[in-house]
Amino acid sequence: MRIDILTLFPEMFSSLKESIIGRAIKNNILQINIIDIRKFSKDKHSKCDDTPYGGGAGMVMTPQPIYDAITSVKQDNSKVIYLSPKGRTLKQSIVMELANCEHLILLCGHYEGVDQRVLDLLVDEEISIGDYVLTGGELPACVVVDAVCRYIPGVLGNGESYVDESFSNGLLEYPQYTRPVEFKGLKVPEVLLSGNHQEVNKWRKKMSEEITKTKRPDILK
Ligand code: 4G3
């Protein structure tokens, strides 16, 4: 998969070089290009924002640099996504949908947003990572990249599975335990030490259902 990220703040994506995502980039499973929108400005001072028509507080990102930045990378198989509080709220099923794309272009807005015309012309989909406002779309873009990349074959190594995790089976994850068998007086549930895989699976399923019913009844069908 290839992901192009368009931003006025390229340094905010240094976190993607770490850990599992960084390893996927090194192994050529994933290609991530960070594109500085400012480099596409035709203004003599590389200006990329201006005051809103109609008045009001703040600044709006001008359409020309964004339009040129997107069209410099857009192909027939590209999906252009704008990270915005107005978008569809991200959830695991959307993540899995996006993981099937060959090429994602993520547009990060700043200030009070971007000129509506560039959205009308080029953006396929608006996505929000939750009902709150941030200073820019950069952190949401990192969240989308991290969540989506876990589903690309080869990104997760041995023992880094998404089969049993929260949400993928529609339920929250059961509790996990590791050594020691007793910690500060608290014991690991007996069934997990039994070696009876059928009983272990039954217990985990029951715990998943209970936890989901108490913590997130809204996701139970
Ligand atoms: C557009 C996304 C972008 C309009 C972006 C602010 C939160 C999210 C921005 C706007 C963002 C989110 C930049 N904040 N919930 N800030 O995914 O008003």
DSSP at 175: P
Question: How confident is the model at residue 121, as a pLDDT?
Answer: 98
Q: What is the amino acid identity at position 57?
A: A
Residue 221 lies in a domain: yes
Looking at 122, 149, 176, the residue that finishes a domain is: 149
Q: Is the CB of 130 under 6 A from ligand 1?
A: yes
Looking at 104, 124, 149, the residue that finishes a domain is: 149
Residue 22 lies in a domain: yes
Residue 47 lies in a domain: yes
Percent of the chain, pLDDT > 90?
Answer: 91
User: CB atoms < 10 A from the CB of 163, how many?
Assistant: 6
Task: Show the domain range for 140.
Answer: 2-149
Q: For atom 2 of ligand 1, which residue has the closest CA?
A: 84
Residue 90 lies in a domain: yes
Whether the predicted pLDDT of 40 surpasses 70? yes
Whether the predicted pLDDT of 114 surpasses 90? yes
User: CB atoms < 10 A from the CB of 129, how many?
Assistant: 19
- Residue 69 tokens read as 């930045």
Beta bridge partners of 31: 2
Domain with residue 194: its CATH number is: 1.10.1270.20
pLDDT tens column, 92-109: 999 999 999 999 999 999
Residue 158 lies in a domain: no
Q: Exposure pattern of 70-104 as b/e (b: 16+ CB <10 Å)?
A: beeeeeeebbbbbbbbebeebebebbbebbebebb
Q: Is 195 left (phi over 0), alpha (psi -120 to 50) or beta?
A: left
Length of the chain: 221
Tell whether 121 and 219 lie within a shared domain.
no
Residue 216 lies in a domain: yes
Looking at 149, 171, 193, the residue that finishes a domain is: 149
Residue 155 lies in a domain: no
- Residue 96 tokens read as 């899995």
Tell whether 131 and 22 lie within a shared domain.
yes
Q: State which H helix or E strand residue 6 sits in.
A: strand 2-7
Q: Which atom of ligand 1 is nearest to the CA of 134?
A: 14
Question: How confident is the model at residue 221, as a pLDDT?
Answer: 78
Question: How confident is the model at residue 164, as a pLDDT?
Answer: 65
Largest CA distance in the chain: 72
Question: How confident is the model at residue 176, as a pLDDT?
Answer: 98
Pocket of ligand 1, candidates 6, 59, 82, 83: which has the most ligand atoms within 8 Å of its Cβ, to mutate?
Answer: 83
Question: How confident is the model at residue 172, as a pLDDT?
Answer: 96
Q: For atom 17 of ligand 1, which residue has the closest CA?
A: 128
Question: How confident is the model at residue 158, as a pLDDT?
Answer: 79
Tell whether 85 and 110 lie within a shared domain.
yes
Question: How confident is the model at residue 46, as a pLDDT?
Answer: 98
Whether the predicted pLDDT of 167 surpasses 90? no
pLDDT tens column, 195-208: 999 999 999 999 99
Whether the predicted pLDDT of 83 surpasses 70? yes
Tell whether 109 and 212 lie within a shared domain.
no
Tell whether 101 and 18 lie within a shared domain.
yes
**Distance in Å, CA 139 to ligand 1 centroid:** 10
**Distance in Å, CA 55 to ligand 1 centroid:** 20
Domain with residue 45: its CATH number is: 3.40.1280.10
Instruction: State the average pLDDT over residues 17-36.
Output: 94
Question: How confident is the model at residue 39, as a pLDDT?
Answer: 98
Q: Structurally, how many domains does the chain consist of?
A: 2
pTM summary value = 0.95
Tell whether 140 and 169 lie within a shared domain.
no
Whether the predicted pLDDT of 181 surpasses 90? yes
pLDDT tens column, 42-78: 999 999 999 999 999 999 999 999 999 999 999 999 9
Question: How confident is the model at residue 196, as a pLDDT?
Answer: 98
Angle at 90 between CA 214 and CA 74, to 5 degrees: 165
Q: CA–CA separation, 13 vs 173, rounded Å?
A: 29
Q: Is the CB of 220 under 6 A from ligand 1?
A: no
Dihedral pair phi/psi, residue 94, rounded to 5°: -70, -40
Residue 43 lies in a domain: yes
